Structure 1
Amino acid sequence: MLTKRCSSTERRRNNASPIISETTVSSPEFEIDQDNKTVATAVGHLPLSPIMDPSYWDAVTRHQAPKAKVGKATNSVERQFRKNPFAAALATPLRQCTASRTRLPSFFLQDFNLIAHPKTSQPWWVPRSLAWDRPVETQQADAASDEPVNAVSEQEQSAISKGIPQPKLPESTQTTSVKPYGPSAYALARRDLISSFTVKKSGFDKQYKRLFGGSSSRYTRFGYQAVWRQDMDSVILERMRQGIVEDLLYLSRLCSEDSRHYIVKCYSWDDIKNKHQGAVLWFGGSSKDDESTVSKVQPGPFATYDIAGENSTTSMAVHNMPMLLGNAAAAGVRDESAILRDGFLFMLAGRRTKDLQLKLWKLQGYLASYT
């Protein structure tokens, strides 16, 4: 026999609950037999009403409790998990690519949302997780003028002159009307797939009209009418690259100004074994100073550097930065960064580099050829 004591907390949680606080009414406790679904009363055992069943209220209120805040790691396994970018990628929620019907962690997919164009109100498809909102000052300037404002900061001008990518997203992602409407749609984060949406007889021609699939008939009509950029695959690529460039320059400033060690120089491939374990950045070939010291053999897609231990082998991702960012952008980053300027081989170390490692790994998958 299980005893259910009524409390004022349960009363406040759901007003439909028949439970009455002991502080207001003095009454005997209910003795509930959950196995037999009966409740003991003064006249004997009676059938248990569903609204008096504790398991019913547990099911009703379980989603109302606030989520526990993420605290500090309590053991070494949890600490290793939190700083591991591959574990973080696999831990993202499962979503389905509506083009290939493949279910994967959302890290391996590109999300799309509908956003209304600021002038025509026509729906546009945008890669929402890669879009950004303009500063309030620029938005206010647009409100006073019908013409779009394309202000370029001094930092952006410097980056453009050095070949660092500055992608152009649809106007609707850069205005005050940035709030998306409708659910998110997903497609595999692969350039060859996304570019095939605009190629006739590719098997995925105009797949963007069916990105919502059968998930929401309410928004299917809007998805079918929405504008899809012909260069969407390039827009996504340049935005990915810009995010990596911004993170590299930010971490470089922390290293040079605050004496941090997020980016560590490796003097040779063998020197990697003596550094902290993290992703390896290969910049060979992006500077004339490297030609005499760098091998002509370049790391390919998904290249790894293996370190054999006594009982196991540790594999670290090796990223060919000129291949991922383009030669001009890779050289531009090195010119901007005092840390990356000298050398051709570097390692990302520390938990603070996890997001950058995730971006690099996703870009690897986006550009890779799976044929």
Structure 2
Amino acid sequence: MLGRWTHRPASCNSLLRTSLQECRHTSHHVRISRGDDLGPTRDDAHQTFRIREHGDGQALPLPPLLDPVVREKRSQWDKKKLWPNAETFTPFQKKLQANPFAHALASPVRQCRATLISLPVAFLTSLHARPHPTTLDPWLLPVSLTTEKKQLGPPYRFALRHLITTQLGKKKAWEKGIYSRMEAKYGSSNVKNMVWREDLPDLILDLMQKQLIKKISWNLGFRGRLAPVASPRSEDIEHVDDVSCILFFGSLRTRADDVHDHASEIVLEMDKWSSYVAKAFADKLDPHAAPEVTHSSPSWFVEPIVPRLQPRLRCPELEFKNTTWRGQKVPVYSLADLLGENRARQLITDSEYKGEKCVVMKTVRHNLIVQILLMRLQAYIAQPGP
């Protein structure tokens, strides 16, 4: 088990932050003068004035930190908001509380280091630096998938897609996403020695599958927590109340998916040979290599441009399986596609729903975590449809 990274270099910012915290801590114990301790005063609806006994007699306003009127006005906004009472929720609030999509969209918004797009954390992958047990070099690992601790250091976040994880590992593209906060935390020398595992895309997938199996086993362990149905079709689930999602024990893949995968393999093979030709004839294809060109190639220029299939044709919009229940769409998740044939078969065989083909998961509070994990895993392995 990898340990915790403990390197914390001292900096001017950290010293200044510590000083401010100490000042803030001591300021809570300062006795504020009130009433007769302030001397002769007069106050209005907004502030307090001290009456001068000498001079022109003009009243002087008290500083805001000493003025009881100002402090009382400010303190009414410092009160902590009470936790909502679930017993007084309206039907809409109860429905919103049990909606996994609402909880996912309500998670904090952070920036993807690969695409620079701001997304809720529920749709991002978080990696944290941990020292290797032998070399002590920092490794970027999905620690958040194996622990529930919150303080894990500055994370390296990117969109929750297997494709993006694979692309970041090529030609050390992930190094461009290192930001100043990570350098301040771990040190510039440690950041330069940071390691990106070659099997990271499959490692993240394996950990997400194990996390889902651990959570969903509770629902499959006792009969009555899920409602068995004949199929995900609308006519078979119309009689069930509070349908949140459908769990299909088989595979939702069709022959069109197999043909699409074969076509994708052909496209990748063509791209490999296109890159080979571009590198072999770089001096003839590179417009910056001509003798009459005096300037160097720009930073964005990687290799000579060769004919390729248009990206928009290769990557159409993602299509997630769903069905219609009482006029609204609900997602359909295939355990065989999400977990693999072997894991799904073992999970179903050991459950109380052995022999069923499809079950309905209800819209209740305790199913939130499972549905969010299903959504995350589906998004991670999603591929453009045929």
Separation in structure 2 between the aligned mates of residue 295 and residue 272 of structure 1, nearest angstrom: 22
Equivalence map 1:44-55=2 (5 Å): 44-52=58-66
What SS does structure 2 have at the residue aligned with 1:355?
helix
Separation in structure 2 between the aligned mates of residue 17 and residue 235 of structure 1, nearest angstrom: 54
The 1:109/1:74 distance shift into structure 2, 3 A limit, reads same
Separation in structure 2 between the aligned mates of residue 49 and residue 247 of structure 1, nearest angstrom: 57
Shift of 1:306: 1.4
Aligned counterpart in structure 2 of residue 356 of structure 1, from 351, 366, 370: 370
- Give the conservation status (yes or no) of the 8 Å contact 2:319–2:384: no
The 1:45/1:39 distance shift into structure 2, 3 A limit, reads farther
Aligned counterpart in structure 2 of residue 264 of structure 1, from 209, 216, 227: 227
Separation in structure 2 between the aligned mates of residue 357 and residue 321 of structure 1, nearest angstrom: 12
Counterpart check, 1:247 vs 2:247: no
- Give the conservation status (yes or no) of the 8 Å contact 2:105–2:120: yes
Shift of 1:213: 2.1
Counterpart check, 1:125 vs 2:140: yes
Aligned counterpart in structure 2 of residue 230 of structure 1, from 198, 208, 227: 198
Q: 1:109 matched to which residue of 2?
A: 124
What amino acid sits opposite 1:186 in the alignment? R
Unaligned runs of 5+ in 1: 1-11, 134-177, 287-293
Q: If the length of structure 2 is used for normalisation, what is the TM-score? A: 0.64
What SS does structure 1 have at the residue aligned with 2:140?
strand
Separation in structure 1 between the aligned mates of residue 355 and residue 93 of structure 2, nearest angstrom: 36
Shift of 1:77: 2.1
Q: Which has the higher contact order (CA 8 A, sep 6+)?
A: 2
What amino acid sits opposite 1:278 in the alignment? S
Equivalence map 1:263-302=2 (5 Å): 263-268=226-231, 269=233, 270-275=235-240, 276-284=242-250, 301-302=319-320
Q: 2:274 matched to which residue of 1?
A: none
Q: Which has the larger radius of gyration?
A: 2
- Give the conservation status (yes or no) of the 8 Å contact 1:13–1:61: no
Q: 2:379 matched to which residue of 1?
A: 365
Q: If the length of structure 1 is used for normalisation, what is the TM-score? A: 0.67
Counterpart check, 1:31 vs 2:43: yes
Structure 1 stretches of at least 4 aligned residues deviating more than 3 Å after TM superposition: 12-18, 24-30, 52-63, 65-71, 178-182, 214-217, 294-298
CA deviations 1:263-303 (Å, max 9, x no partner) are 210123322111131110112359xxxxxxx99899x9511
Shift of 1:56: 7.4
Separation in structure 1 between the aligned mates of residue 256 and residue 40 of structure 2, nearest angstrom: 82
Separation in structure 1 between the aligned mates of residue 76 and residue 183 of structure 2, nearest angstrom: 30
Shift of 1:81: 1.4
Separation in structure 2 between the aligned mates of residue 285 and residue 356 of structure 1, nearest angstrom: 19
CA deviations 1:179-225 (Å, max 9, x no partner) are 9763122111111001112224xxxx431x34432445413623332
Identity %: 23
Counterpart check, 1:332 vs 2:332: no
Unaligned runs of 5+ in 2: 1-24, 53-57, 258-317
- Give the conservation status (yes or no) of the 8 Å contact 2:183–2:191: no
Higher helix content, 1 or 2 = 2
Q: 1:74 matched to which residue of 2?
A: 88
- Give the conservation status (yes or no) of the 8 Å contact 2:127–2:141: yes
Aligned counterpart in structure 2 of residue 344 of structure 1, from 340, 343, 357: 357
CA deviations 1:82-120 (Å, max 9, x no partner) are 110000000101111111111011101011111122333
CA deviations 1:286-328 (Å, max 9, x no partner) are 9xxxxxxx99899x951111134xxxx3211111221111112
The 1:218/1:108 distance shift into structure 2, 3 A limit, reads same
What amino acid sits opposite 2:51 in the alignment? A
What SS does structure 1 have at the residue aligned with 2:244?
coil
Separation in structure 2 between the aligned mates of residue 103 and residue 280 of structure 1, nearest angstrom: 30
Q: 2:28 matched to which residue of 1?
A: 15
Separation in structure 2 between the aligned mates of residue 241 and residue 303 of structure 1, nearest angstrom: 19
What SS does structure 1 have at the residue aligned with 2:153?
strand
RMSD: 3.6
What amino acid sits opposite 2:100 in the alignment? P
Separation in structure 2 between the aligned mates of residue 297 and residue 126 of structure 1, nearest angstrom: 35
Shift of 1:232: 0.6
Aligned counterpart in structure 1 of residue 155 of structure 2, from 172, 175, 184: 184
